[in-house]
């Protein structure tokens, strides 16, 4: 379910606001305190990692004196396998990793891969909604770092903004004209659960899951594109091959700013929010440095910095940041649909096989 963020090529174009630059500049001017301390931090490679290296890591080092060594991780799922093998071998490539919530839950169930965090050393985590502090039987093992939304989008030149996701089932408006993600865990089922059923509770039984997938099947006549890569949906919206669908809120905002006919909407049911968390390797001896880093990224000023410079949605209330309403709207919104992460893990095979049969027309 985790999103690959490396393709968000144009976020910097609008993200490099004067406010963000001023913030980074003021922090960089802070005297160094303890230059000998260091920490290895993994993040999704490409654009995402480069943005962290350019904007976030230097600001943290300037504020604390702790040097950051950036480590490339491909995505949460593949990285978990790498970390599992590395832990078994007795040496790991990083202290902190960035895991999506489903991957964090899987790592917790495997056991022995993630160390509990000293929350007393992370006081600014109190800025985050408690949902973003993940605990298992060993204690708190993940603190939210950043998030992003999968949103309803339309071509405003072709259709009026729907008030509800349910409008996409209207074939008199949307026949053969929508673009939806092909992956079973891309949160369309969460949208359907929030729109037509009892939300996350619908995933509790196989009958509930079948009902969700049958409702998704009713959409098939209105789908022109089942996309597997962000670029497919982007190009289809640009070409006019589709007039609506499911896409990433931040990229849609940037496309709109570039003049393309796309509008990102938060309908009455809301949009799914996914997020990544910082998790400490069980073999790391840098718990103190990791706590300082997590505390730094939990601060409203750093959350705002990441929104401006990386394009991620803040995990703190917008009112405690200095983001303007326009800056906040470019990366976030409300209401929020929270995916049924544990159901996707507990019933993975059943959901995937049922979804694939639906797509195949069985």
What CATH code is carried by the domain that includes residue 260?
3.40.190.10
CA 330 to the chain's CA centroid: 15
What is the structure's pLDDT at 166?
Answer: 98
The vertex-169 CA angle with 168 and 175, nearest 5°, equals 80
Same domain, 254 and 142: no
* H or E element that contains 275: strand 271-281
Q: What is the number of domains present in the chain?
A: 2
For 93, phi then psi, to 5°, come to -80, -10
| Radius of gyration, CA atoms only, the chain | 21
Range of the domain at 81: 38-148+274-332
* pTM recorded for the entire structure: 0.84
Same domain, 327 and 351: no
User: DSSP assignment, residue 56?
Assistant: I
Same domain, 209 and 343: yes
Of 296, 289, 295, the residue nearest 23 (C-alpha): 296
Same domain, 282 and 324: yes
Residue 286 in domain: yes
* pLDDT above 70 as % of the chain: 90
Helix (H, G, I), strand (E, B) or coil at 238: helix
What is the structure's pLDDT at 254?
Answer: 83
Same domain, 344 and 234: yes
Residue 156 in domain: yes
Same domain, 201 and 218: yes
Same domain, 176 and 115: no
Same domain, 301 and 153: no
Residue 1 in domain: no
Residue 204 in domain: yes
Residue 59 to residue 107: CA distance in whole angstroms = 30
Residue 109 to residue 200: CA distance in whole angstroms = 21
Same domain, 112 and 73: yes
Residue 30 in domain: no
Instruction: Kindly write down the DSSP assignment for every residue of 6-41, as one continuous string.
Output: TT-TTHHHHH--HHHHHHHHHHHTSPP--TT-EEEE
Tens digit of each residue's pLDDT (9 = 90 or more) over 118-171: 999 999 999 999 999 999 999 999 999 999 999 999 999 999 999 999 999 999
Same domain, 159 and 266: yes
pLDDT at 3 over 80: no
Contact 250, 311 (CB under 8 A): yes
What is the structure's pLDDT at 45?
Answer: 81
Tens digit of each residue's pLDDT (9 = 90 or more) over 174-222: 999 999 999 999 999 999 999 999 999 999 999 999 999 999 999 999 9
Residue 112 in domain: yes
Same domain, 228 and 108: no
Residue 280 in domain: yes
Question: Beta strands 178-181 and 244-248: pairing type?
Answer: parallel
Q: Which tokens belong to 121?
A: 């050393």
Residue 84 in domain: yes
Tens digit of each residue's pLDDT (9 = 90 or more) over 256-298: 989 999 999 999 999 999 999 999 999 999 999 999 999 999 9
Residue 352 to residue 204: CA distance in whole angstroms = 15
């Amino acid at each position: 379910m985790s999103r690959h963020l490396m393709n968000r090529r144009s976020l910097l174009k609008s993200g490099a606001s004067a406010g963000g630059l001023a913030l980074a500049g003021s922090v960089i001017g802070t005297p160094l305190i303890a230059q000998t301390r260091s920490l290895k931090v993994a993040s999704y490679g490409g654009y995402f990692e480069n943005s962290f290296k350019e904007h976030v890591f230097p600001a943290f080092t300037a504020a604390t004196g702790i040097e950051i060594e950036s480590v490339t991780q491909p995505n949460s799922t593949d990285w978990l396998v790498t970390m599992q093998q590395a832990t078994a071998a007795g040496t790991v490539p990083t202290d902190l990793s960035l895991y999506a919530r489903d991957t964090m839950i899987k790592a917790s169930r495997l056991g022995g891969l993630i160390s509990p965090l000293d929350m007393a050393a992370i006081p600014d985590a109190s800025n985050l909604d408690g949902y973003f502090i993940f605990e298992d039987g060993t204690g708190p093992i993940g603190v939210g770092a950043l998030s992003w939304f999968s949103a309803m989008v339309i071509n405003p030149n072709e259709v009026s903004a729907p008030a509800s996701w349910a409008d996409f089932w209207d074939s008199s408006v949307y026949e053969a004209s929508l673009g939806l993600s092909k992956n079973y865990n891309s949160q369309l089922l969460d949208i359907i659960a929030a729109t037509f059923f009892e939300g996350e509770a619908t995933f509790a039984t196989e009958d509930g899951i079948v009902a969700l997938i049958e409702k998704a099947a009713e959409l098939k006549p209105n789908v022109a594109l089942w996309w597997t890569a962000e670029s497919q949906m982007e190009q289809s919206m640009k070409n006019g091959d589709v007039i609506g669908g499911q896409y990433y809120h931040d990229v849609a905002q940037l496309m709109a700013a570039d003049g393309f006919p796309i509008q990102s909407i938060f309908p009455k049911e809301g949009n799914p929010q996914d997020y990544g968390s910082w998790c400490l390797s069980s073999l790391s001896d840098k718990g103190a440095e990791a706590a300082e880093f997590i505390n730094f990224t939990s601060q409203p000023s750093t959350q705002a910095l990441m929104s401006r410079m990386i394009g991620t949605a803040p995990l703190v209330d917008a009112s405690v940041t200095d983001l303007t309403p326009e800056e906040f709207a470019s990366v976030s919104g409300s209401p929020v649909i929270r995916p049924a992460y544990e159901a996707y893990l507990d019933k993975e095979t059943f959901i995937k096989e049922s979804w694939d049969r639906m797509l195949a027309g069985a």
